[in-house]
Amino acid sequence: RTDLERLYPEGVDEFFEAPELQRILLNVLFVWSKRHPDTSYRQGMHELLAPIVYVLEREKLLDDDDEVLCAVMHADSHSIEADSYWLFECLMEDMAPLFAVAPPS
């Protein structure tokens, strides 16, 4: 939770301070860490998740005529949370080894 409170990517001002987005980030990271106990949560994972949530949330806010971002979906927060989880899951397939902690010798 402390990492999420410090999440302030440049250029998005107070976007990630919204309680709903904090909840989505926390839930996704919690479920991922429970499903992957060997890695669990490590500092910095929230930085990988944040752009995923940002793009999905921004897509929700775009008008149907706006083609600035690819059409992922126009969804509610539950869909954004689920989609964020599965995109994060795919990303972590390649990134998880970077967060692995070597067993003590």
State the pTM of this model.
0.75
pLDDT at 77: 61
CA 56 to chain centre: 10
CA distance 32 to 86: 9
8 Rama sector, left if φ>0, alpha if ψ -120 to 50, beta otherwise: beta
CA atoms within 13 A on the CB side of 16: 23
Residue 13 has pLDDT above 70, yes or no: no
Helices 19-35 & 77-99 angle (0-180, nearest 10): 50
Q: In 3D, which of 3, 23, 31 has the Cα closest to residue 78?
A: 23
Tell me the pLDDT band of 74, cut-offs 50, 70 and 90. very low
Residue 2 has pLDDT above 80, yes or no: no
What is the tens place of the pLDDT at every residue in 43-71? 889 889 999 998 898 877 664 445 544 44
